[in-house]
Amino acid sequence: EAGVAQSPRYKIIEKRQSVAFWCNPISGHATLYWYQQILGQGPKLLIQFQNNGVVDDSQLPKDRFSAERLKGVDSTLKIQPAKLEDSAVYLCASSIGQGVFEQYFGPGTRLTVT
Amino acid sequence: DAKTTQPNSMESNEEEPVHLPCNHSTISGTDYIHWYRQLPSQGPEYVIHGLTSNVNNRMASLAIAEDRKSSTLILHRATLRDAAVYYCILRDEGNAGNMLTFGGGTRLMVKP
């Protein structure tokens, strides 16, 4: 079974530029999550989708971050414009549903903002 | 969500058992105890979870105190591949969002 796919794996941009990350969850997984992990810290949830609807985006900085999952499968996370403090690893995870189910994580995208 | 407390780091010798503690004194009756680990340069991976009874799987065992205010993740024979950050997380069964709230975790170092 294929795992959660993410691309790109690495990205370096200058502050005020825009960037987008892509995630393809495990087939059949209805729930998709985006986490931000700053160096030395645990991951922090940014947004959660159930199919193509948003369940929780309370920690998403909506003035610069946006995410979509239009067809209820793959998802994109965008930052526009980027700030230095956005340097982090962006992790995508998926699970079968919203219950107490195991979450499967992708390898992440390491973003460096200079 | 109820919080967990874990030591920042622990050290173990290869092929010896490892006991990783977690305190969760404010746990509620519907909170499940989950453990994830994160190997270097990888996303977190699920290890084990439980509610009240001790649990075993191919990766580890989870021992839950009778009052549920603490738990211990047990790796029966540590290997170099087990060097990772281990996160103890409480998840509310009634939380429709099913989100994971990660703390700082315990960095496990395994010596050959």
Give B-chain residues touching A98 at CB under 8 angstroms.
96-98
Collapsed DSSP state (helix, strand, coil) of residue A17? coil
- How far off is chain A from B46, nearest CA to CA, in Å? 6
Query: What gap in Å lies between CA B105 and CA A37, rounded to an integer?
Result: 13
Q: What confidence tens digit (pLDDT) does each residue in B76-109 have? A: 999 999 999 999 999 887 665 667 889 899 999 9
Instruction: State the residue for tokens 């920690």.
Output: A59
Q: What is the pLDDT of residue B94?
A: 66
Query: What gap in Å lies between CA B22 and CA B69, rounded to an integer?
Result: 9
- Distance of alpha carbon B74 from the chain centroid: 9
Q: What confidence tens digit (pLDDT) does each residue in A99-110 have? A: 767 999 999 999
Average pLDDT of span A53-67: 94
Q: What is the pLDDT of residue A70?
A: 83
Query: What gap in Å lies between CA B87 and CA B33, rounded to an integer?
Result: 10
Q: What is the pLDDT of residue B100?
A: 84
B interface test, pick of A103, A104, A109 with most B CB neighbours within 10 Å:
A103
Q: Where are the beta strands (DSSP E) in chain B?
A: 9-13, 18-23, 31-38, 45-50, 55-56, 61-64, 70-75, 84-92, 106-111
More confident residue, A114 or A97: A114
Q: What is the pLDDT of residue A63?
A: 96
When mean pLDDT is compared across A64-68, A70-74, A78-82, the lowest value belongs to A70-74
Q: What is the pLDDT of residue B98?
A: 66
* Partner residue opposite B97 with nearest CB, options A4, A43, A55: A55
Q: What is the pLDDT of residue A97?
A: 83
